[in-house]
Amino acid sequence: MALLMARQIFLQSAEPYPYRARVPLSVPYTRWSYVVDTWIDFNSIPIRWACFPRRNMRRDLLSARQRNDEKVRNFIRRVIRPSKRLGDVSDCQIVQIVWDGALGYLRLKWAGAGFDFETSSLSALEIAAK
C-alpha cells in the first residue's frame, strides 16, 4: 500500500505556471503552450475542460456573422481585430471569413459585380458594399 501511494505521489505533476504576456517575454508563448498541453495529456484532462482564450478566439473568428443592422465596415473591423491578436491569419483568410459571414444580399451583390473571395481584396469588398 505504501509503495502504491509513493508511486501516485511521484506521478502527480505540478500545475503549469500561468502565462503572463509582458515585454520582454520571460516565457515565450510556444514554450508555455507546450507545457500546458503536456500537462493536459499527462493528467488525462479532456480538452473540453481546458478552456483557452486563443482557441475560443479562433472559433469565434471563423464563425463570425454580420448582424442585420451592422455596417460592413464595422463587421470587417470586428473580424480584423481578433485576427491580428491571433497573428497567423492571412489576408486571404480574412477575406474568406468576411465573405462567408456577410449578409446574403451582400454576397449576391459582390458576386454580381464580379468579385469572389479568392481574388478580391478586403478594401474592394468594403467599397463595393456601399
Prediction pTM value = 0.58
Q: What is the CATH number of domain 53-129?
A: 1.10.1200.30
pLDDT value at position 37?
73
Domain chopping of the chain, boundaries: 10-49, 53-129
- Per residue in 15-74, pLDDT (tens digit) is 656 655 554 455 566 677 777 777 777 776 665 555 556 667 788 888 899 999 999 999
pLDDT value at position 53?
62
- Collect all residues with Cβ–Cβ distance below 8 Å to 109 and sequence separation of at least 6: 128, 129
How confident is the prediction for the chain on average, in pLDDT?
Answer: 77
> Can you say how many angstroms the Cα of residue 52 is from the centroid of all Cα atoms in its chain?
10
Candidates 115, 130, 116; CA nearest to 71 is 130
- Collect all residues with Cβ–Cβ distance below 8 Å to 117 and sequence separation of at least 6: 95, 96, 99, 100
pLDDT value at position 36?
74
